[in-house]
Amino acid sequence: MLRICFVFVLSFFPIWASAEVTGKVRVIDADRIDVAGTRVRLHAIDAPEMDQTCDTKDGVSFACGQWATAQVRARFEGKVADCTPRDVDKYGRIVAQCRVDGLDMGEVIVSEGWAFAFRRYGMEYDLTEKAAFVAARGPARCASAIAGTVSRRAGQGTHEC
């Protein structure tokens, strides 16, 4: 009986996962949003956590997670997003590519240096991140960051934050 229920539930999963999510954006942090009450993790990007700090090459710390979130909030909060689900993460959130005013949110966020390309999950923003790094935008210009994947990437920079 349990197997039948499991198969029944799984049979509806692809339908649910492929449904577009459209609505007003509420920014949670620089790579997570709510769209019309649905929690969405933005596909193939990774941003500093809200409580994360980053260090400049001179050793000065700043709240890069709060800064990145504030930038994303100023750009997208309250706007209408159209999100195309790509996956569901281990926390049950929809992982999606979202567009606002015809622009890919992930691409904008990475190009401004507010987050990094998360190549483990997709290469869509690889060149965008490299351009942000060369232009010394956002945390990409930091000497180091503390914790997470951001710390492995930010250490590559030589520009001051």
Question: Among 148, 158, 157, which Cα is nearest to 45's?
Answer: 148
Please give the Cα distance from 18 to 113 (Å, whole number).
Answer: 29
144-148 average pLDDT score:
39
Token pair belonging to 15? 């339908």
126-154 average pLDDT score:
65
Render pLDDT for 60-93 as a digit per residue (tens, 0 to 9). Answer: 888 999 999 999 999 999 999 999 999 999 999 9
Render pLDDT for 95-117 as a digit per residue (tens, 0 to 9). Answer: 999 999 999 999 999 999 999 99
Q: Are strands 32-35 and 21-29 parallel, antiparallel or unpaired?
A: antiparallel
Angle at 56 between CA 161 and CA 47, to 5 degrees: 65
**For position 25, what pLDDT does the model report?**
98
pTM above 0.75, yes or no: yes
Please give the Cα distance from 124 to 107 (Å, whole number).
Answer: 8
Residues 25/80, Cβ–Cβ less than 8 Å: yes
Residues 69/29, Cβ–Cβ less than 8 Å: yes
Render pLDDT for 18-51 as a digit per residue (tens, 0 to 9). Answer: 689 999 999 999 999 999 999 999 999 999 999 9
CATH of domain 19-154: 2.40.50.90
